[in-house]
């Protein structure tokens, strides 16, 4: 089903790409994606977009700041606008975006799915549960504000979403890919990239397996029983090293959510997580009870494992060369056009250039 392939932390930058740059990013991203589709197929585009290293390098090629949080939203916007109206030609459909636009993702998925004859429900679910995992099951201090869901005519998909930590002035990007995953809520990622490790409640870690079972079991108990236990836990003097606190959890409010879980009797943690109203505070309260009452300690391991740095708009590592940028767009436009009519010389040159570039890095 799916793999989350990476997470990356970036400095939080505000502002927009200048129109002259975004227009070029839109055009160049379109030509690069068409080149990839022509050479390797649409599946390869999904795989590369889900790779945090490739995505970062892609943003650099498009001329954006390598270290800016805006790289995510701007590159995703360029991709969406770049292939707009050409979706059927490339076989790729881009939905969602930043802020309010992200809330239109389900409707956009349904519209495109019906157009190409796909069942939209699995895609809408994948979009929703991936966001729920990274906002509630993994509590690393980042609030999701950008969500882009990309899929093809066969129902394969990838997700690129980003969260914000306003106090730290950083953003963290999460990547998902719809290949080979056996479980949405147990180690769904292949790689996790960030600038630093942060305290986190990680309910999708392998070592949280017992906690997931216990939390699900607690959610099926009578609400008044669970609320009583939460109040007891809140009155305890917990050690300072305890990473999960009840200081901002209202037992009465949690109780109203527990009525729903008790009535629904979720069969597993994924079902519980997907329920309406079950958010970070509910999961946090149940996770703490699973440890204090049942001894099933959830993982506090940040999913972040390694970091990267790759180069833009703010003249780092050098100013954007507009003339060269335009020549790159033109080169790829012509290469795709000529490849389609059987003239592959430029595509062969493009492959050789890729090989040389890899050898020199």
What is the DSSP track for 233-250?
Answer: HHHS---TT-S---TT--
Task: Indicate if the pLDDT at residue 41 is higher than 80.
Answer: yes
Q: Give the model's pLDDT for residue 317.
A: 43
Task: Give the H/E segment covering residue 90.
Answer: helix 87-90
Q: Give the model's pLDDT for residue 136.
A: 95
Q: Give the model's pLDDT for residue 318.
A: 45
Percent above pLDDT 70 for the chain: 71
Q: Higher model confidence: residue 32 or residue 191? A: 32
Average pLDDT for the chain = 81
Q: Higher model confidence: residue 322 or residue 134? A: 134
Rounded mean pLDDT of 199-225? 94
Residue with tokens 């609030």: 143
Q: pLDDT digit string (tens) for 72-81?
A: 899 999 999 9
Residues 40/44/45/49 CA torsion (nearest 10 deg): -150
**Range with lowest mean pLDDT among 3-12, 29-38, 145-154, 215-224:** 3-12
DSSP state of 298: P
C-alpha neighbours within 13 Å on the C-beta side of residue 134: 33
In this structure, which long-range contacts are made by residues 318-327, counting pairs with CB atoms below 8 Å and at least 24 apart in sequence?
320/21, 320/63, 322/20, 322/24, 325/24, 325/28, 325/63, 326/24
Rounded mean pLDDT of 67-88? 89
**Residues ≥6 apart with Cβ < 8 Å to 330:** none
Task: Indicate if the pLDDT at residue 130 is higher than 60.
Answer: yes
Tokens of 170: 């950083």
Q: pLDDT digit string (tens) for 44-53?
A: 999 989 888 7
Q: Give the model's pLDDT for residue 292.
A: 85
Task: Give the H/E segment covering residue 35.
Answer: helix 19-40
Task: Indicate if the pLDDT at residue 339 is higher than 70.
Answer: no
Angle (nearest 5°) at CA 118 between 115 and 121: 115
pTM: 0.80
Task: Give the H/E segment covering residue 225.
Answer: helix 223-235
214, 294 Cβ separation under 8 angstroms: yes
Pairing, β 170-177 against β 201-202: unpaired
Task: Indicate if the pLDDT at residue 169 is higher than 90.
Answer: no
Task: Indicate if the pLDDT at residue 231 is higher than 90.
Answer: no
Task: Indicate if the pLDDT at residue 309 is higher than 60.
Answer: no
CA 125 – CA 138 distance, rounded (Å): 18
Tokens of 296: 């099933």
Q: pLDDT digit string (tens) for 94-107?
A: 999 999 999 999 99
Q: Higher model confidence: residue 124 or residue 323? A: 124
CA–CA distance from 121 to each of 102, 245, 317 (Å)? 17, 36, 44
Task: Indicate if the pLDDT at residue 158 is higher than 90.
Answer: yes
Q: Give the model's pLDDT for residue 242.
A: 43
Task: Indicate if the pLDDT at residue 235 is higher than 70.
Answer: no
CA 190 – CA 182 distance, rounded (Å): 13
Q: Give the model's pLDDT for residue 53.
A: 75
CA 109 to chain centre: 16
Q: Higher model confidence: residue 224 or residue 349? A: 224
Q: Give the model's pLDDT for residue 167.
A: 82
Task: Indicate if the pLDDT at residue 315 is higher than 50.
Answer: no
């Amino acid at each position: 089903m799916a793999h989350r392939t990476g997470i990356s932390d970036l400095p939080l930058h505000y502002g927009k790409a200048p129109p002259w740059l975004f227009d070029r990013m839109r055009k160049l991203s379109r030509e690069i994606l068409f080149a990839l589709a022509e050479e390797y197929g649409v599946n390869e585009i999904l795989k590369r977009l889900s790779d945090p290293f490739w995505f970062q390098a892609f943003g650099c090629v498009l001329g954006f700041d390598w270290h800016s949080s805006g790289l995510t939203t701007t590159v995703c916007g360029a991709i969406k606008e770049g292939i707009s109206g050409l979706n059927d030609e490339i076989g790729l459909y881009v939905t969602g975006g930043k802020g309010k636009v992200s809330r239109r993702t389900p409707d956009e998925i349904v519209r495109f799915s019906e157009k190409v004859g796909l069942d939209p429900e699995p895609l809408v679910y994948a979009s929703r549960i991936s966001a729920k995992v990274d906002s509630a099951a993994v509590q690393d201090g980042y609030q999701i504000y950008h969500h882009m869901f990309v899929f093809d005519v066969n129902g394969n998909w990838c997700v690129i979403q980003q969260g914000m930590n306003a106090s730290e002035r950083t953003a963290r990007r999460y990547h998902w890919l719809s290949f080979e995953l056996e479980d949405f809520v147990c180690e769904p990622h292949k790689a996790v990239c960030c600038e630093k490790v942060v305290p986190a409640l990680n309910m999708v870690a392998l070592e949280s397996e017992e906690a997931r079972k216990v939390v699900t079991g607690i959610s099926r108990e009578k609400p008044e029983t669970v609320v009583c236990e939460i109040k007891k836990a809140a009155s305890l003097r917990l050690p300072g090293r305890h990473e999960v606190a009840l200081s901002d959890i209202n037992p009465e409010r949690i109780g109203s959510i527990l009525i729903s879980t008790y009535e629904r009797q979720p069969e597993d943690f994924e079902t519980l997580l997907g329920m309406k109203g079950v958010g970070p505070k509910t999961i946090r309260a149940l996770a703490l009870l699973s440890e204090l009452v049942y001894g099933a300690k959830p993982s506090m391991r940040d999913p972040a494992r390694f970091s990267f740095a790759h180069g833009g708009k703010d003249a780092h590592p050098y100013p954007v060369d507009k003339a060269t940028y335009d020549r790159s767009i033109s080169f790829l436009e012509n290469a795709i056009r000529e490849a389609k009519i059987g003239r592959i010389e430029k595509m062969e040159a493009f492959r050789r250039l890729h090989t040389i570039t890899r050898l020199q890095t």
